[in-house]
Amino acid sequence: MMEQGNFFAIGVSFKKTDIAHRSKFAFTPDQCEALYRRTNIFCFQNFFILSTCNRTELYGFAPCEYVPLTLLQQHTGLTQQELMPYVYVKKDSEAVHHFFSVASGLDSQIPGDYEITAQIKSAFQLAKEHRHTNGYLERLFNFGLQASKEVKTTTSFSNGTVSVMYTAVQQLANKKGINNVLVLGAGQTAQQVITYLKKFMPDTVVTLVNRDTVKGIGVAREAGVAYQSFGKLPQQLKHSDAVMVATHATQPLITRSLLKNTSIKHVYDLSVPQNVSADVATLRHIELQNVDSISVSTNATLQSRLAEIPKVKKIIRSYKEKFMEWAARHHYFSVASRASVAGHGLPRRELTSSFNEWHKSFQSGSVLPYSAQATATIVKAIQASFPSARLIHSTYNKSETHETCHPHCHPNQSACVMASQCGLHAVAASR
């Protein structure tokens, strides 16, 4: 892995975007797969998508932020002016720090919510299956999981079970007259909801409904609950007291007309995008809750966790420093592996000394891993330590060079989606 461009974390989260607007940015697993299959943008190949109820983020390498921003723009159908008020852009070391904060539960809507760990694993694995990850992202992913594990085992930041699903079931368990609960969906969220229902409402009849019959039957059988086909959803609603919705549908599956003449009293929409139409809130006999409203009610239970935040931040800083040192070392020795003296590789001991000297300047923040500037300083350092060294430039893979997207190093320049907006393109066009 040579020059990659800049590493970006770009997306939206609960911090500045409510559930209605986050729904526009959300990716279902099928949409992620479709994007991975069709993404042929020359300068945006190594990336992964993290889409949860709290956030939608793209992590990856690009020559400029406008490349991933355009993918979000195309996905949401928003103009650039409509998009930017909601989106944050984090770059290089700031993006690394942000990912570790997310993985550790520090950036969750409910601080210390470790369900994010499983979500990150699923997101990364999907990208990896479609060959959109590289060594840098793999190491970032592993460091993130290690940081999360250390936070969990050495602090009380995750003490107690507090998550959106847990809180929703706890709320429902405190309601009167709840005898039959319908769970719509069969993914990880729905399965966790069923686990909590069986634990805290053992006398309640739970029925699972899912659009995919085979998967629904399998999940229901394993969980020990009843199953009904999606076609029987209207009838099942008539005999249920509450419905908990956790699907990946892109349009609402629960509507006002479906609930109007039912015995449903409580509706919990745990989906992003929202799978319960907004007009359900106009039905007087129904209480509607979504991810944001459920999260607000957990604040009183989180005071002990909040006291642990300084410890969590210290762990995150430590892992960020370790990762950035790994990135610097990896880049340096990748370049050095292409250098030789009299046909032989450079001696390891002297090379390590050369790296240590170079790394002192690198730590000042003047250069960033995998950038063309960093490569130039590495070459200079190697030549200073080994004047007779020969660096074999011809072995570099030019298709991996993303310093700028200009006609001389960008074979797909004319087809690039950002040709009219990226500042780097604009500079190149004027040459």
pLDDT at 104 over 70: yes
pLDDT attached to residue 415: 42
Is domain 1-159+304-431 classified as CATH 3.30.460.30? yes
**CATH superfamily of the domain spanning 164-297:** NAD(P)-binding Rossmann-like Domain (3.40.50.720)
Q: What's this model's pTM, rounded to 2 decimal places?
A: 0.77
Say if residues 189 and 246 touch (Cβ distance below 8 Å).
yes
In residues, how long is the chain? 431
Known catalytic residues are 53
**Eight-class DSSP state of 314:** H
- Domain positions in the chain are 1-159+304-431, 164-297
pLDDT attached to residue 397: 41
pLDDT attached to residue 40: 65
Interval 231-251 mean pLDDT:
94
pLDDT at 395 over 80: no
Say if residues 429 and 54 touch (Cβ distance below 8 Å).
no
14 confidence band (pLDDT: 50, 70, 90): very high
pLDDT attached to residue 305: 79
| Residue located via tokens 């479906």 | 258
Using a CB cutoff of 8 Å and minimum separation of 24, what contacts does 199-208 make? 200/169, 200/170, 200/173, 201/169, 201/172, 201/173, 204/178, 204/179, 204/180, 205/179, 205/180, 205/181, 206/181, 206/182, 207/180, 207/181, 207/182, 207/183, 207/236, 207/240, 208/182, 208/183, 208/184
Burial state string for 139-157 with b = 16 or more CB within 10 A and e = fewer than 16: ebbebbbbbbebbbeebeb
91 confidence band (pLDDT: 50, 70, 90): very high
